Amino acid sequence: RKETVLLYLEVLCCQPRKHYGITSSISLAFPREIDHIYTQKLTEAIEPFGVFEGEDELNHRLAVLGKLNSFVKEWIAEISESKNLPPSAVANVGGKVFTFGSYRLGVHTKGADIDALCVAPRHIERTDFFSSFFEKLKRHDEIKDLRAVEDAFVPVIKFKFDGIEIDLLFARLSIPDNLDLRGDSLLRNLDIRCIRSLNGCRVTDEILYLVPNKENFRLTLRAIKLWAKRRGIYSNMLGFLGGVSWAMLVARTCQLYPNAVAATLVHKFFLVFSKWEWPNPVLLKQPEDSNLNLPVWDPRVNPSDRYHLMPIITPAYPQQNSTYNVSTSTRTIMSEEFKNGLTVTDEILQGKADWSKLFEPPNFFQKYKHYIVLTASASTEENHLEWIGLVESKIRVLVGNLERNEYITLAHVNPQSFPGSKENHNENEFVSMWFIGISFKKLDNSDCVNIDLTYDIQSFTDTVYRQASNINMLKDGMTIEATHVKKKQLHHYLPPELVQRKKKSLGEINRSSNGGGSKRCSLDGSQLDSSRDTDIGTPFSSPTLVSKPCQPVSSPEDSSITPPNHPVLVFIDSPTASEVSPPKPEQGMSIPVIGSSKSPPAGNTIPTVVGRSVIPRITSSSPSPTELPNSVNGAPKRPHSPSQEDPPKRHKDTEVFSDDSAFKEPYPPNSNATKPMPIPTIDTSRSQRLPSKELPDASSPIPTSNLRVIKNSIRLTLNR
């Protein structure tokens, strides 16, 4: 028996160690007793946030999915019979529902929706899915809020089934009972919409396959998703990271520490990604070419891929960057959050703090001195839901515009939207507001400087209206309004508990305030994220406006900038009558557009009728200013509101990276391991990318309806 054990150990030692991912592990250390204790405390800390479902809720989901699967099989049999398939073929035609996303990963929260895919045989057409299957669902009493989005990038049917929200995609495949969606061969001869629909399932399955311990991965991912939502950095649409991106970052951490438990993995997550040198890509496996000629993320081939700032690459073919929307500002914000998370978890593992500290929300409304308030209004609730969906999807365009202003160093959008005040809008209007915190460059050797945000706002609103017109969404009463406010004026827009600074005890001085968080609903249904529920608003007053010229003192950075000859608006920081008097209409500050019922302030508007006027430009008798040197992140800055003919300049500097990350990872000792492929990247802002196909062509006309566009200028003066 002793000889058998020795022989077994000898065989184990001769076998090469298995490693996960494209490099070897950083540490193979097994957990200590204290690590298990910290993991138990982590579980207890996140449980009150509704990240775990009870047994009854889980069984309810399984029952709903079982009924949906039966509906699909019945429908496929009915369509097959109507297409004159023989009875023997109809009986065995099959059909199946697959899940993906957070539910498939096993990290869904209470009340979360389910992402699902209906796989049907090839003789079932997509038109059948959006017609006869849609009608079949409509006839069932348990199905509510049924709507089809057939023209979406990934076509989908959305509905509530017995209280559970479901997003159902469609794909046509040959479907044996043991169908494995991970195989690349099943993509042959599929149309691009089927490939996109399959992509969610394939990526989810591949992530689970590539992690060493699924249970440790799931608990870690629950904690990281909760942290991201609480810290306001969970939103793919607004340029942060979405669920699949967070899942891939956690999966990479698990590959680097394959034997660690959740508490250790959370700490290592912050350690790894606080030191990651973006834009080096995060890869869970070596990209493979399946010779199917599908477009994949590859900066060596695709020039536009070189401008991605924070690439996290999906592991399933065709590989794509899941973080296309990340901008210079959102990457900076997330990088700071990674560093803050590392500091907090260091304290927790040293016994100096509890896990609850990691999930304290920041007080966004105390962080900046200046904010842009973006307001979207519509005349009916149905129109409002449509309108805010479009506006929110394009807010990242506004953030990109603001980033390119030479005096703006950061534009931070809060993912949570807020209901508008009834006192500031018609009672029949449905209003949502978003807040963007602005950091301005520090001024050197100058008393004050004029800043004009008019062009930044107008180009954003033009993009939104052009898109709305192209998809026939634009209706009377749909408006956007952008307003500049200072921190001390936020109480006119928000409940006092969100904007009041709480006094801290000495023990809390170094802790983030948890007084800035209201009860909110997350993107996947938990009470974490954005809420659009109506709320009782508060009146607002305008900043004091003084019409007087301000001549900035020249400095090396702004010597080429000459202020306009006409008077500009100056904001006074000292207390004024407007802050204590009843609310007054704001003049020269907001940009109400399309169908606004409000009268434009005299002397400060630039009225244009859609289709008849060009975008107004700020003119000056002085020569056009030249570009300043690029910011630290490489984004070209615009020193003024440019004309439409001024194209953004591109960088020609190229850096070549050949490692998975700058966080040094040893390569596997065995000779079979291969080094990651070299990936050329350029550290530059999203603004320098090639034109995106997801937006309408810039040459598309702004809506030529009889609705009037009123455009005001937003100008402010910064004092040193």
| Core vs surface per residue 125-137: b (16+ CB within 10 A) or e | ebebbbebbbebb
* Residue whose pair of structure tokens reads 């081939």 in the numeric block: 301
Active site residue 234: yes
DSSP classification of residue 131: I
Contacts (Cβ under 8 Å, ≥6 apart) of 542: 578, 583, 584, 585, 586, 587, 589
Contacts (Cβ under 8 Å, ≥6 apart) of 361: 230, 231, 232, 512, 514, 516, 517
382 neighbors 477 (Cβ within 8 angstroms): no
Tell me how far apart the alpha carbons of residues 559 and 690 are, in angstroms, rounded to a whole number. Answer: 31
Structure tokens at 127: 């038109």
3-state secondary structure of 75: helix
518 neighbors 500 (Cβ within 8 angstroms): no
Around 643, how many Cα atoms within 13 Å sit in the side-chain half-sphere? 7
Tell me how far apart the alpha carbons of residues 90 and 412 are, in angstroms, rounded to a whole number. Answer: 56
Active site residue 455: no
Tell me how far apart the alpha carbons of residues 67 and 141 are, in angstroms, rounded to a whole number. Answer: 13
Tell me how far apart the alpha carbons of residues 395 and 132 are, in angstroms, rounded to a whole number. Answer: 36
Q: Which of 404, 469, 425 is nearest to 633 (CA)?
A: 404
- Active site residue: 225, 268, 394, 711, which one? 225
CA-CA-CA-CA torsion sign (342, 346, 349, 353): negative
* Residue whose pair of structure tokens reads 């007054």 in the numeric block: 584
Structure tokens at 554: 């020249």
- The continuous run of DSSP H or E covering 334 comes out as helix 328-349
Active site residue 70: no
21 neighbors 255 (Cβ within 8 angstroms): yes
Q: Which of 617, 720, 85, 651 is nearest to 407 (CA)?
A: 720
- Active site residue: 24, 25, 80, 102, which one? 102
Active site residue 289: no
Query: How many Cβ atoms sit within 10 Å of the Cβ of residue 474?
Result: 22
CA-CA-CA-CA torsion sign (486, 488, 494, 498): positive
How far is residue 226 CA from its own chain's centroid? 15
CA 93-99-101 angle, to 5 degrees, is: 155
Q: Which of 72, 94, 253 is nearest to 166 (CA)?
A: 72
278 neighbors 309 (Cβ within 8 angstroms): yes
- The continuous run of DSSP H or E covering 403 comes out as helix 381-403
- Active site residue: 35, 115, 128, 205, which one? 115
- The continuous run of DSSP H or E covering 181 comes out as none
Active site residue 519: no
Tell me how far apart the alpha carbons of residues 242 and 33 are, in angstroms, rounded to a whole number. Answer: 34
- Active site residue: 35, 103, 113, 407, which one? 113
Tell me how far apart the alpha carbons of residues 582 and 284 are, in angstroms, rounded to a whole number. Answer: 58
214-230 vs 33-46: helix axis angle to the nearest 10? Answer: 50
Cis bond before residue 582 (omega within 30° of 0): no
CA distances from 234 to 194, 241, 243, 353, 523 (A): 27, 5, 8, 24, 8
Query: How many Cβ atoms sit within 10 Å of the Cβ of residue 538?
Result: 18
Active site residue 167: yes
CA distances from 391 to 4, 238, 378, 417, 498 (A): 69, 11, 12, 11, 24
3-state secondary structure of 583: coil
- Active site residue: 128, 167, 305, 683, which one? 167
Contacts (Cβ under 8 Å, ≥6 apart) of 370: 437, 438, 440, 484, 485, 486, 487, 716
Q: Which residues are catalytic?
A: 102, 113, 115, 167, 225, 234
